[in-house]
Structure formats: structure tokens, C-alpha cells
Structure 1
Amino acid sequence: MNRQHYYDLLSAPARLDYELYLDTGNLLACQKPMPAMVNADELQFQIVHQVEELWMKLMIHTLLDIDDHMRDGHAHKVVTLFSRCNMIMKLMSEQLDLLETMSPHDYQQIRLQLGNGSGQESPGFRTLMKMPPELWETFETVYLTGRALSVRDIYDTQYRHDDAYVIAECLMEFDERMGKFRANHIFLIQRSIGMGAASLKGRPVELLDAGARHRFFPELWAVRAEMTDAWGQAYGKVRESLGAAE
């Protein structure tokens, strides 16, 4: 097939309403021109990361709306919008699998094009890292302090499976999916350059693993252990085997 013919079709000036509304001319020009690509995988590398930035932009916008709706007590809207964020996180994690179709050898050629850049410099990622503490502050103000409740009350001592519990679980799932996304990124790095290598910033790649283990809402994780230990005191941490009575 004539490659240039199809490249020309993609780069033709926008004329149709769909093209104009989505600004496809500028969108498809965000990648390097094909003749300038260092290898055939560089287009995929750029597109995957550009799409990730767009997903993060949508998630940031949605989290801002979530914060507003929490303050206004609109629990159903909060749950719906958290579902959207969690779907975005799932898509972002799955998209990383595309990059595993790239060989370590081909990635090294692309890596040379990055200068000293790394995913830690992503504007979307850096912004997302700053938002969870403010989400927790809002949740705490409205659903904990505002109702004279603790996390333990919501999950155990005054458990009602109410709006406070459901929103706490939304926060928990968001935290979990963020951790899975970061863990998937670690596996991608392992397949691309190995864990023993230094990043483009000169830091050992192993340091990134700490980010994957980070929890934004530690209170929601800790309460599970607290409840299990407390319940264990009642029924015994070590119980007789089910087969002992036979």
C-alpha cells in the first residue's frame, strides 16, 4: 500500500462537522510526523501517553465536581461520578498493556528521544497527586465531623450502609485503582528497562515501587484491620479446625 497516500488522508484539512467539532486536524498533528519517527513503535508510545493525559484531564475535572457534590450532600451524583473516575482508571491501566507489545530494544531508541523526561513530569499525574487530600478533607468535614462520626462508626459501631459508607467505599476503590495503575506501570518498566536500571532522572527504578504502595486514604484501609482484630477478640483468633469434630 502507498503509505504517503494514507498519511495524506489523515492530515487533510478538516471540512466535515465531526472533524471541526473534535478539531481532528490539531489532534492528529500532536504526534511527530511519520518520517521523523525513530522507529515504528514511537507513534504508539506517543499516542498511549497522550491519551493518558486526556483521561487524567477528564478525571481531574470529574474529581472537582465530586468535591462540590460531596459538599452539597448529593450522594447519588458522587457515586455516579466516582464510577466514571474508576472506569477511567481501569482504561488507563489496560492501555499500558499496549506498550508491552514493544520490544526493549525498540524502546531504547524511543527513550533517547525523551531527554531527561519521565512520567513523573506528567501534568495530569502531578495534579492528580494533589487532589486526594482535599477530597478526604471534604469527606471528613461533611460525613465525619459534620455528623459526629468516626470511620469506625461508619464501618462498624454505627454501621447502616448509608450514604457515608457508600461514599467511603467510592474513595476506597479510587485509591485501590490508583495503586493498581501505578503497579501496572512498574511492571511495564520491568519489561522495558528492568528494575535494576536507573531512571532518566538517575534514580533507581525500585524507588517508584514506593509510589505503588502509597495509600491516599489510610484511614479507610486501617479500619479493616482494626475491626478484624476487635472481632477476633470475641470469637478467638485461633479456632478449632472444622475437621476436629470428626
Structure 2
Amino acid sequence: MAEAENPAQGAQMEFRGRMSYGDYLHLEKVLDAQEPLSTAHDELLFIIQHQTSELWMKLAIHEIRSAISAIRGDDLRPAFKMLTRVARIFEQLNNAWDVLRTMTPSEYTQFRGALGQSSGFQSYQYRAIEFLAGNRNLAMLKPHAHRPEILSALEDILASPSLYDEAIRLLARNGFDVGAEAERTDWRGARPENEQVLAAWRDIYREPGRYWALYELAEKLVDFEDYFRRWRFNHVTTVERIIGLKRGTGGTSGVSYLRKMLEVELFPELWKVRTEL
């Protein structure tokens, strides 16, 4: 009887002195990073949910920064790819809520007390994404004041144009009147909505064939915010499903705080232009 063929035949099986899969990914660091503070079965789910979310956010930050740089250099095709990836990252983050929602209120109660004052709204990577996109609420620097290196990194983001700022500057370079936005040099604070910017996007949407690259950029930005909004909405419903209307561990009002966040628009003129077409 012939010897069965080894399906792994030809594969490298000896890794002494060579880099393996686990070596490349530093899996010992990743897989040793889960340290539950209770004996509750579901705490591991809770930790992994949030750690993997932070990893996806790290990638989102990388892609948004690169998209900002590409738009600044009038190199739009790579920016489109990067923004598509960011939207897909938030789709992935959305799907993760389905896993967390398998945890019931009773199960969460078993370890909630071990979380202390830690809360998702304290995520500095989430804050970086908001700041990079254009939602620059300076009050949200305060939760990071105890970490000078993090505060400095967030301040560096605030010192430069956001993703949406760069899109508006691109409009100006293409001959559109964007009003005071064309002269802005202070990027740190929130920008007011601008009628000239709204009018520019309206012209682009009325003649997409004429302004195809700008039209496509607008849609990529809307895609990003669409998935970002869905992620926020799923966050609200997941929290309400698990803790109801109780206050959050970080001291926020919980669900009511998260519902207010649903009203925040990253790219307001791009949403308002739809009403005017």
C-alpha cells in the first residue's frame, strides 16, 4: 500500500535560528496581553474585544494620516484606496459588536466592578481618529492630561490640518471659493460650517463628470463617516443592551452620553449638500 502523501511536504518545519510566524508577529506579546482581573468567564471576551478594536484603530490612524498626506500632495488615487480601507476597518469594528452582544447584563455584572474608572471614551486612539478626521473638541484632551506623551501626540495632530481641512484646501487649489477656509492657519479648534464650502460641494455634485476626482473624494469621505456613524450607533445599542441606562464606568451618563455623540458630524457640508441637490 502506497504511503499517504504528506500534505505539508516541502514546507519549512525547522525554525532553529530562523524567523517563524510567531516570531514575526511577536505573538508572545499579543497573546500574553490579556490579564483578567476577576474569575468571570466573560471578562476575556471583554478584554479581547477592546484590544482588537484598538489594533484596528491603530491601522485606521495609519491610513488616515497617509490619506491626509496624499491629498495634501494632490495625489488622490492612493487617498481613495486608503479611505476605502478606513471604511472597511470600521465595518470590521461594527461586526465585532455582534460578538460582544453575546454577553448578557448578568455576565457583565460579574466583573464590571473590576474595571474601576476605565472606560472606552478614554481611548486616545479613538480621540486621535476624531481629531484627524476633523472633530476637534478640545475638552476631550482632559482625560489624557495625566499622560504627557499622549497629550503631546494629540496636540501634534491638532497643530496640522485635518482630513476634512485638507479636502477643503484641495477645493481651493482647484479654483473653488471656500471663503475664510482658504486663509486659515489655526487648525487647533473646531471649524464652523461654511456656506462657500457647501456651495463648492454643491457645484461638484451637480456636475460629477466635470469634477470627477473631487466628487469621488467626497463620496469616499461620506463612506468613511457612514461606517463611523454605524459604529457609534452599534456602540450605543450594545451598551444599552448590557447596562441599560446606568452611568458609565468612567463617570459619563452612559447611553445618553453616547446618544449625544451620534449628533456629531465629521463632514457637515457633505451631508447638507444632499438636501440642496
- Give the unaligned 5+ runs of structure 1: 1-14, 228-246
Distance 1:116 1:64 in 2: 31
1:158-197 matches, cutoff 5 A: 160=210, 162-194=212-244, 196-197=245-246
Residue aligning to 2:186: none
Q: Counterpart of 1:182 in structure 2: which amino acid?
A: R
Flag as ranges the 4+ runs of structure 1 deviating above 6 A.
none
1:44-59 matches, cutoff 5 A: 44-59=45-60
Residue aligning to 1:130: 131
- Give the unaligned 5+ runs of structure 2: 1-17, 135-161, 177-199
1:197 counterpart SS class = coil
Distance 2:51 2:253 in 1: 25
Residue aligning to 1:148: 175
Q: Counterpart of 1:170 in structure 2: which amino acid?
A: K
1:50-129 matches, cutoff 5 A: 50-129=51-130
Distance 1:204 1:27 in 2: 32
2:101 counterpart SS class = helix
User: 1:37: Cα distance to partner?
Assistant: 4.0
1:214 counterpart SS class = coil
Q: Deviations over 1:3-46 (max 9, x none)?
A: xxxxxxxxxxxx9611111111111110016xx54211111110
Q: Deviations over 1:211-233 (max 9, x none)?
A: 12211000000011122xxxxxx
Residue aligning to 1:198: 247
User: 1:169: Cα distance to partner?
Assistant: 0.6
2:111 counterpart SS class = helix
Distance 1:179 1:158 in 2: 25
Residue aligning to 2:189: none
Residues matched between the structures, number: 209
> Percent identical across equivalent pairs?
32
Q: Counterpart of 2:68 in structure 1: which amino acid?
A: D
Q: Deviations over 1:149-189 (max 9, x none)?
A: 21111111676351000001111111111111010000001
Q: 2:269 aligns with which of 192, 210, 219?
A: 219
User: 1:147: Cα distance to partner?
Assistant: 1.4
TM-score normalized by the length of structure 1: 0.80
RMSD, matched Cα: 1.6
1:90·1:177 contact (CA, 8 Å) conserved in 2?
yes
